[in-house]
Amino acid sequence: MRALLQRVTSASVSVEGEVTGSCGLGYLILLGVGPDDTEALAERLWKKIRNLRVFSDEHGKMNLSLVEVGGSVVVVSQFTLYADCRKGNRPAFVKAAGPELGNRLYEYFCSLAAAEVPCGKGIFGADMQVSLVNDGPVTIWLDTDDLQRPKRG
């Protein structure tokens, strides 16, 4: 699972001219799902995003998490995060999950987020227009293949 986080002061996603999700201070999360991804990976990714300390404290240091600042999120399904551009000029998307798994894990990830913070979202598979005011700018790439696994114990 892959996520591109953009710290925002505001963000929204629209489908056919109608806003389907919006947020104030928080994150725009572009979320890609791979064919081997699971609910456990979605949980790990959400936990990492929720706990990242990239919001400014009273001293201007990036030291506060999304929850600590009372932030919110907009999550947009983004299979193109799995684009393979090694050959030719047309990206291949064979490393992205199929629609059934992609949608199921996208909705699951959104439910994890919504259980903890206000969460707006796009519509899986739709042609979406995304607007945002990137704050900082702070943009962070996360891939569950690179995240440390929890200790067993």
Q: Which residues are catalytic?
A: 78-80
Q: What is the DSSP string of 117-143?
A: S-EEE--TTS-EEEEEEEEEEEEEEEE
